[in-house]
């Protein structure tokens, strides 16, 4: 039997293991243990970046039952933490380190034997904090569920979102014509590119499904002279957008409703759906596309902007992966990522003719990284508004998204489509007009 160790003795054991691992890794960061000692996790560490393990019970907990959800909860409750950089910096060091394979050279039996004393340590069991209460998988998304899902994510606090979004409060992928552009400039360029892809003309009617805080509505009205209508299910976004529209004197050009898109009537010349496709759920995609087509005039244009996942040889359920379950539980209940091939297939089955597809993966990677950096820099202000646990959840979310786009497990596509493919499409024969 193993003798129960003191916290200091356990720190000594952990230090031994870290020194052994550091000979196999080549990362520029350190581990800070619960007794305060700092140990480099590579042979040539020069940065101040540190992963903090605040209690030996963290190791005990993960040794007895490792899971991504448990790691997230340990971070939320500050049992795991970081300093000297952002969570993205930590993740990038771990996920993209090419020397990780060398850890396999360490004997597993020797490694586990050294860890055995931690089995006698009471495991820290952090409880859920801000987690969705109900079926977060969204397997059956009724209208009442859709509204609850959206409000869980978006109705956190407008003041909180202001801390890391751009001046127009755009919460979707920016478009960097130059990678050094500011977030404000990149979001302006994104809004303008959407309007160009829709080939907006003065006097046309346009619908924005999931209009957020109204940034695209306002941009299109001010710069293209169209009559805009937007719908959202997030109450705080709705109130914010109404106020912004009134302040700019655009009430005669823009209308906005707190309404499910499935309840909309009428037809529009142009329809945009920016960043809400991933909130629908794959099972509901056919219904969504049929509804959009019914709202689009015969000679209209539809732009669908959505996050996707990499296509698989074998179709698997999105929510079965640990990171996706965590995303649905803490951030986006009901959310599910489609793959591009299925999206296009379903659009064609619904009667759309695909005119253009453009990948913006690295644009969203940089967008989410900038959001993570800005939120981290405004840590105390965020905590004052929404509390530390919710702040930490959003930091995990934004850093994780940026890493997912960087490694290619998440993608972002804008797809432009028209109706019935008979005859000449209403879009120009080239993309030349988009870049003038």
**Contacts of 150 by beta carbon, 8 Å cutoff, 6+ apart:** 232, 233, 234, 279
Q: Is 401 a catalytic residue?
A: yes
Structure tokens at 115: 């860890």
What CA–CA distance (Å, rounded) separates 253 from 217? 9
What CA–CA distance (Å, rounded) separates 11 from 8? 5
**DSSP state, residue 428:** -
Q: At 98, give phi and psi (nearest 5°).
A: -75, -15
Structure tokens at 220: 């299109």
Structure tokens at 254: 């823009």
Contact status, residue 195 vs residue 217, Cβ threshold 8 Å: no
What CA–CA distance (Å, rounded) separates 162 from 158? 6
CA distances from 67 to 58, 83, 118, 334 (A): 12, 23, 17, 21
**DSSP state, residue 4:** P
Looking up tokens 């297939």, which residue turns up?
345
Catalytic residue numbers, as ranges = 401
């Amino acid at each position: 039997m193993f003798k129960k160790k003191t916290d200091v003795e356990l720190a000594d054991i952990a230090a031994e293991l870290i020194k052994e691992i550091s000979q196999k890794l080549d990362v520029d960061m350190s581990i800070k243990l619960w007794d305060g000692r700092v140990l480099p996790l590579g042979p040539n560490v020069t940065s101040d970046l540190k992963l903090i393990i605040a209690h030996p019970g963290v190791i005990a907990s993960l040794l007895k039952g490792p899971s991504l959800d448990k790691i997230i909860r340990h971070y939320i409750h500050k049992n795991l933490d970081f300093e000297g950089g952002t969570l993205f910096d930590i993740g990038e060091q771990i996920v993209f380190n090419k020397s990780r394979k060398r850890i396999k050279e360490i004997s597993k039996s020797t490694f586990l034997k050294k860890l055995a004393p931690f089995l006698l340590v009471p495991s820290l069991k952090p409880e859920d904090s801000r987690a969705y209460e109900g079926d977060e998988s969204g397997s059956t998304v009724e209208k009442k569920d859709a509204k609850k899902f959206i409000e869980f994510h978006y109705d956190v606090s407008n003041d909180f979102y202001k801390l890391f979004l751009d001046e127009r409060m755009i919460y979707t992928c920016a478009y960097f014509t130059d990678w050094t552009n500011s977030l404000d400039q990149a979001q302006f360029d994104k809004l303008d590119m959407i309007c160009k892809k829709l080939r907006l003309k003065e006097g046309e009617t346009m619908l924005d499904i999931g209009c957020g805080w109204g940034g695209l509505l306002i941009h299109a009205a001010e710069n293209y002279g169209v009559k805009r209508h937007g719908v959202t299910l997030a109450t705080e976004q709705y109130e914010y957008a109404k106020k912004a529209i009134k302040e700019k004197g655009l009430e005669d050009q823009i209308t906005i409703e707190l309404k499910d898109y499935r309840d909309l009537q009428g037809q529009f010349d142009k329809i945009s759906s920016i960043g809400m496709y991933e909130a629908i759920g794959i099972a509901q995609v056919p219904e969504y596309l049929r509804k959009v087509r019914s709202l689009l005039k015969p000679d209209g244009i539809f732009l669908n902007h959505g996050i996707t996942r990499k296509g698989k040889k074998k179709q698997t359920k999105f929510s079965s992966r640990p990171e996706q379950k965590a995303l649905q539980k803490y951030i986006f209940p009901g959310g599910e990522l489609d793959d591009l091939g299925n999206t296009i297939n379903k659009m064609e089955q619904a009667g759309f003719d695909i005119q253009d597809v453009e990948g913006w993966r690295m644009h969203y990677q940089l967008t989410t990284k900038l959001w993570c950096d800005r939120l981290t820099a405004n840590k105390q202000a965020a905590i004052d508004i929404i509390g530390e646990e919710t702040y930490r959840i959003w930091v995990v979310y934004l850093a994780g998204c940026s890493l997912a786009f960087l490694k290619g497990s998440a993608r972002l596509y804008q797809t432009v489509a028209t109706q019935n493919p008979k005859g000449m499409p209403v879009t120009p024969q080239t993309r030349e007009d988009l870049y003038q």
